[in-house]
Amino acid sequence: MTKAIFLDRATPPHIVTLVVISGLSALNMNLFLPSLPGIAAYYQADYAVVQLAVSGYLAFTALLQLIIGPLSDRYGRRPVMLTGLLIFLLATALAPFAPTVESFLAFRMLQAGVVSGMVLSRAIVRDMVGTDQAASMIGYVTMGMTLAPMIGPVMGGVLEDLFGWQSSFALLFVLGLATLALVIADLGESNLSRSPSMLRQFGAYPELFRSRRFWGYTLTATFASGSFFSFLGGGPFVATAILGMNPTQLGFYFVFIALGYMSGNFLSGRFARQMGINRMMIAGCILATFGMALSLLLFLAGIWHALSFFGPIFFVGLGNGITLPSANAGIVSVRPHLAGSASGLGGAMMIGGGAALSALAGAILSQESGPYPLILVMLVSCIFSIFATLYVLRVERSLATEARTAQAN
């Protein structure tokens, strides 16, 4: 693979470009989270309905990833990325002018076109480097893009208080235009072995489904990220309705999980090549579980404070930052010739599970229940991620034993 040269379309994209396109996707997820209660009031709709802007968006994103991966394997990463960004820009321009909550949610679903940046950045990395190095590079890419979820809710909260919720979409549109210009200038095609047909790529899904390692890595990513998506679905309600925080305060407290995620990404980028992806995953899953267990204990002890919820969330971000780069590298490395399809399918399952947990968290919360339903959903998701990682380790040992037996014979 040719070395990446910044703003040279004849080479693969520079890591800065991968950070930007992934960051825009992350920013689109969380910039307007502090505005959810305000959007509900604007449209005079129930919070559970407006919360579909998170859970429904995640579900639509999951479905879209099933198409994005095979499309990029067939036609290349660059044209699929550009098409996704154009759809995102159109939807973002129309969303603030939606006359009803239903039309707003429809435009919000179309914004999912930007997820091509997150899906294809993983496939592009795998096009360029091997498995352990991919985990390291994905770690650095996601560390850089973590600036978006770190400052996004802060910016969204301030914009909501100053100008109303529509201003967040105006900012997304401007940033989307800048990202489109960067992609046009720098994103060289990295898929040099394109599939001859779309049917062949969709036909590859059974091959992935038969892989126990693919299932292990995907379930690890699903449950690890499930705690974060649950937080996205229920966190704003806990903060505003239960802990009495305003949008600006909520935005600033979101920094805890983003700071943890960035720290975890740095550790992943630094140590994934030396430790290997499986040991990185188990360490990250244990850290996230510790964080949610700590939050539960603090509330049970009667310490009802914002830091009792958002402080331990740091460990969820830290654990996810360590776990997800390695899990995603595992997903796209099980069958390297199917990197795009694997990234799309694995991402769809991960985001689909996150959408279900996000919707569950939003549905079961009430002022009477306090934060406990959300904390328990997040804790159980973290525990399941540990079991999924242990399954990966078991499969790895089984495959190693089978290989030694075959060699001996």
In-domain check, residue 307: yes
pLDDT of residue 197: 64
Determine the average pLDDT of the residues in 389-404: 83
In-domain check, residue 7: no
In-domain check, residue 341: yes
Q: pLDDT per residue over 224-237, tens digit each? A: 988 888 887 788 88
DSSP letter assigned to residue 335? S
In this structure, of 160-169, 217-226, 263-272, 357-366, the range with the lowest mean pLDDT score is 357-366
In-domain check, residue 68: yes
Burial class (CB in 10 A: 0-12, 13-18, 19+), 261: buried
Identify the three-state secondary structure at position 316.
Answer: helix
Is residue 401 scored above 90 in pLDDT? no
Identify the three-state secondary structure at position 18.
Answer: helix
Cα–Cα distance measured from residue 253 to residue 123, given in angstroms and rounded to the nearest whole number: 32
- Give the confidence band of 89 by pLDDT, cuts at 50, 70, 90: very high
Is residue 1 scored above 60 in pLDDT? no
Is residue 409 scored above 80 in pLDDT? no
Is residue 389 scored above 90 in pLDDT? yes
Expressed as residue numbers, the domain containing 299 is: 15-401
Q: What is the domain count for the chain?
A: 1
Q: Calculate ∠ Cα 388-232-123, nearest 5°.
A: 55
Residue type, 15: I
- Give the confidence band of 337 by pLDDT, cuts at 50, 70, 90: low
Q: Calculate ∠ Cα 313-318-324, nearest 5°.
A: 115
Q: pLDDT per residue over 272-326, tens digit each? A: 778 888 899 999 999 999 999 999 999 999 898 888 998 999 999 999 989 988 8
In-domain check, residue 238: yes
In-domain check, residue 136: yes
In-domain check, residue 144: yes
pLDDT of residue 297: 95
In-domain check, residue 409: no
Q: What is the CATH number of the domain that holds 151?
A: 1.20.1250.20
Cα of first residue to Cα of last residue in the chain, in angstroms, is 37
Determine the average pLDDT of the residues in 394-403: 80
Q: Which residue has the higher pLDDT, 133 or 313?
A: 313
- Give the confidence band of 399 by pLDDT, cuts at 50, 70, 90: confident
Contacts of residue 303, defined as CB under 8 A and 6 or more positions apart, other chains included, come to none
Cα–Cα distance measured from residue 24 to residue 383, given in angstroms and rounded to the nearest whole number: 30
Cα–Cα distance measured from residue 118 to residue 140, given in angstroms and rounded to the nearest whole number: 14
Q: Which two tokens stand for residue 289?
A: 């579980």
Read off the pTM. 0.71
pLDDT of residue 255: 78
Q: Which of 318, 230, 325, 235 is nearest to 273 (CA)?
A: 325
